[in-house]
Amino acid sequence: MARATYLEAIRQAQMEEMQRDSRVFIMGEDIICNVFGTTTGFVDMFGAERVLDTPISENGFIGASAGAAMVGARPIVDVTISSFLYPAMDQIISIIAKSRYIYGGQARLPLVIRCCLFYGNSNAAQHSDRPYSMFMNVPGLKIIVPSDPVDMKGMLKVAIRDDDPVLCFEDSTCWSSKADLPTDPDFLIPLGKGDVKREGTDVSVIAVAGAVPLALKAAQKLAGLGISAEIIDPRSLVPLDRDLILKSVRKTGRAITVDPAHQTCSAASEISAMIAEFAFDALRGPVLRVATADTHLPFSPAIEKSLYPSVDRIVTAACRLVGVEHFDSAQGTV
Amino acid sequence: MAGTLWRPILFTENAVSDRPNDLSLEKFRRMVRIREFETVAEAIHAAGEVPGALHTYTGQEATGVGACIALRSDDYMVGNHRSHGHPIAKGAKLRPLMAELLGKVTGVCKGKGGSMHLSDFSVGSLGETSIVGSGIPVAAGAALGAKLQRNGRVSLCFFGDGASNEGAFHEGLNLAAVWKLPAIFLCENNGYAVSTPVSGSMAIVNIADRGRAYGIPSAIVDGQDVDAVEEAVAAAVDRARAGGGPTLLESKTYRYADHAVNMGRLTLNRGPEVEVWRKRDPILMYRARLLEGGIAASVLNAIVEEVKLEVQDALAFARESAYPSQLEAFDDVFVERLPIPAWLSEDII
Ligand SMILES: Cc1ncc(C[n+]2csc(CCOP(=O)(O)OP(=O)(O)O)c2C)c(N)n1
Ligand SMILES: [Mg+2]
């Protein structure tokens, strides 16, 4: 075990899987120079053939990853920032998500598309996206959103070994978080298994990606107010660990979903609907959503930060559900 | 090397023949097979047996067959919505193709692809994709996979004149060029994209000229002449296998029918043009060449008769086959079958 960051976890997962399986290769823009530090040293380790710099041609190289995967290679595509997926929507949706299905199972697409959720730092609307929920509406794509270094390492390794296409969204607000990383090369966390990050009895907080650390901080504050919050991290959105979420909600009778995505049609919305549909009888109040406001993200820090989920908004929502007055809140309402 | 989940795709089990000795008769046979398949497909579509759209390949047979005959059976191929000719040209069996047209479970895509997606992976196909241009990056990627695995295969992509205006064309060609991939980009320029003539969608005359922008050698070939197409593709294949990188070929050809069946209103009045092209019909031209070369008419006629029986056999098979069960709609989304929603499972059990 050694303390390592979330970014280092990504690097280790990729490195170990590339060592394990010579069919795995990685490509993306400027990955040899390496923008975020997730492929440091890779060219020396694996050679330029398996560490490919691409032209700025997302539809081209993401599509090429599909072709390479269909003939037996196992590509990892590093798209750096999630906003750059958009020029490749055609290949991701029409080819990568649908080829196995439309050809009746003849195609196999073992590939991973990685990108970060880059928000909260005055990057303005075009560089601040959290688009995983859009892809949840497309069958055929597995989607992971790990929130800490251990989950990242174990899940990315599984994603690379998986025979279906996986989108890995890496929350940049988690980049510097540290943990003791397992060194077992077969340390694996299966996709579709959520995790109880903190046990509690009064309210279930189902948080996604960078909202998980916020929810954990909120749980500490809530404990001070006498409210015991259970924090659930689904970790993968497709497949989604419905059982874990429903079990928790059945126990607490209250649910809050927290999601850095824009609220409308977010993962939070889908999970809320699922709870309302399958655990209605257990609920003692409405399912509340704490997500990003449905507007674009502005450049100015003066007006950007307050649009996202925050510890305070989670605390306020929990107090409202449990019926405890909470005067600390900056906003007053959820 | 670990990795137990992955199985290699086998490319030979379904192939009708692999580089047969008598190539000229095989070329004739495959062109006739496409023509007959399309004739029957149009008839059963008119009779209401084929759901959905039907884009026929009639008139373009020499391009598909000339190209595929220059490939090995394990070489990769990607095609488009005008999908019927490509697998037949590459040697696919007809039964699963015909059954797919009818949406049957015995279809090559188990009834989930239909007319626009007759892709038979057992003959090296990696898709017949109906989003215009979208196969081009995939073909480049297959060539990248071949290069990384050093398996000596090449990847050929069929696409239309219209597709060459998509960004995917330009991105795919540039990638193949910069990575020197073993790819052949074969544009089937049939003069139109639905109703739009080539002159209405680009300011140059030849799509082949676009290769120069990417440093890709290119050539124009007579798409009605199966030998000419074969020769051009064979040269491109040789270059690709030798590590010389991709080639862009433009086959000047023509589709006789409307863009798709029942889409006459989207076809310009092409006037005498169709008849002019019919005089250079690829099958008639090749037949004349074979006769001139001393092949007896009876040999060619026998092939035509055999093919007719083969297509009728495929049709009978397709008609007798069952439709997929409702469960099939949930299979092949992922490797593992999806759970069936409760409201549906009540209905089907
Ligand atoms: C991205 C996309 N845009 C539009 C269409 C509708 N469409 C289907 S075929 C076609 C024309 C394609 O022309 P071309 O590439 O020349 O192929 P052809 O049909 O002539 O063989 C169009 C516009 C589509 N399928 N995909
Ligand atoms: Mg055309």
Q: Please report, for the domain that includes residue B102, its CATH number.
A: 3.40.50.970
Its domain, for residue A154, covers 2-181
Pick the last residue of a domain from A149, A181, A213.
Answer: A181
Q: Is residue B340 part of a domain?
A: no
Interatomic CA distance for residues B17 and B89, integer angstroms: 11
pLDDT above 60 (res A328): no
Task: Compute the average pLDDT of residues A270-285.
Answer: 98
User: Mean of the per-residue pLDDT values for chain A?
Assistant: 96
pLDDT band for position B3 (cuts 50, 70, 90): very low
Do A225 and A108 share a domain, yes or no? Answer: no
Pick the last residue of a domain from A181, A209, A229.
Answer: A181
Q: Is residue A187 part of a domain?
A: no
User: Mean of the per-residue pLDDT values for chain B?
Assistant: 92
pLDDT above 80 (res A110): yes
Do A68 and A175 share a domain, yes or no? Answer: yes
Rounded to the nearest angstrom, the minimum Cα separation between B154 and chain A is 11
Q: Is residue B2 part of a domain?
A: no
Do A205 and A312 share a domain, yes or no? Answer: yes
B167 CB neighbours in chain A (<8 A) are 59, 87
- Under a CB-based contact definition with an 8 Å cutoff, are residues B223 and B159 in contact? no
Q: Would you state the pLDDT for residue B172? A: 98
Interatomic CA distance for residues A81 and A129, integer angstroms: 8
CATH at A60: 3.40.50.970
Which residue has the CA at smallest separation from atom 3 of ligand 1? B132
Q: Would you state the pLDDT for residue B57? A: 98
Restricting to A residues 63-82, those with a Cβ less than 8 Å away from any Cβ of B are 63-74
Do A97 and A39 share a domain, yes or no? Answer: yes
Q: Is residue B334 part of a domain?
A: no
Suggest the residue from B154, B335, B340 to mutate for an interface test with chain A (most A CBs closer than 10 A): B335
Q: Is residue B49 part of a domain?
A: yes
Rounded to the nearest angstrom, the minimum Cα separation between B2 and chain A is 6
Percent of chain A at pLDDT above 90?
95
Q: Is residue B96 part of a domain?
A: yes
pLDDT band for position B349 (cuts 50, 70, 90): low
Residue A186 φ/ψ, nearest 5 degrees: -110, 25
| Residue B152 touches chain A, beta carbons under 8 Å | no
Q: Mean pLDDT lowest for which of A235-244, B15-24, B50-59, B114-123?
A: B15-24
Do A129 and A225 share a domain, yes or no? Answer: no
Do A92 and A17 share a domain, yes or no? Answer: yes
Q: Is residue A244 part of a domain?
A: yes
Do A171 and A201 share a domain, yes or no? Answer: no
Q: Would you state the pLDDT for residue B17? A: 41
Rounded to the nearest angstrom, the minimum Cα separation between A278 and chain B is 12
Q: Is residue B242 part of a domain?
A: yes
Relative to beta strand A178-181, strand A2-5 is: antiparallel
| Residue A250 touches chain B, beta carbons under 8 Å | no
Q: Is residue B40 part of a domain?
A: yes
pLDDT band for position A1 (cuts 50, 70, 90): low
For the Cβ of B190 lying below 6 angstroms from any atom of ligand 1, the answer is: yes
Its domain, for residue B269, covers 21-324
Angle, alpha carbons A30-A36-A39 (nearest 5°): 65
Angle, alpha carbons A74-B135-A162 (nearest 5°): 20
Do A209 and A146 share a domain, yes or no? Answer: no
Task: Compute the average pLDDT of residues A196-219.
Answer: 98
Q: Mean pLDDT lowest for which of A199-203, B253-257, B261-265?
A: B261-265
For chain B, the domain total comes to 1
Task: Compute the average pLDDT of residues A205-218.
Answer: 98
Q: Would you state the pLDDT for residue B5? A: 29
Q: Would you state the pLDDT for residue A329? A: 47
Q: Is residue A188 part of a domain?
A: no
For tokens 């310009």, name the residue. B268
Q: Is residue A22 part of a domain?
A: yes
Q: Mean pLDDT lowest for which of A68-77, A134-143, B60-69, B270-279?
A: B270-279
Task: Compute the average pLDDT of residues B12-39.
Answer: 77
- Give the DSSP H/E element, type plus range, for residue B301: helix B297-320
Spacing, Cα B194 to ligand 1 middle (Å): 7
Q: Which chain B residue has its CA at the smallest distance from A239's CA?
A: B338
pLDDT above 60 (res A60): yes
Restricting to B residues 168-197, those with a Cβ less than 8 Å away from any Cβ of A are 168, 171-172, 174-175, 178-179
Q: Which positions of A are catalytic?
A: 127
Q: Is residue B209 part of a domain?
A: yes
Do A53 and A136 share a domain, yes or no? Answer: yes
Q: Would you state the pLDDT for residue B103? A: 97
Q: Is residue A34 part of a domain?
A: yes
Interatomic CA distance for residues B314 and B309, integer angstroms: 9
Interatomic CA distance for residues A20 and A184, integer angstroms: 12
CATH at A298: 3.40.50.920
For chain A, the domain total comes to 2
Query: If 0-12 CB within 10 Å is exposed, 13-18 middle and 19+ buried, where does residue B349 land?
Result: exposed
Pick the last residue of a domain from A181, A215, A246.
Answer: A181
Cis before A239? omega within 30: yes
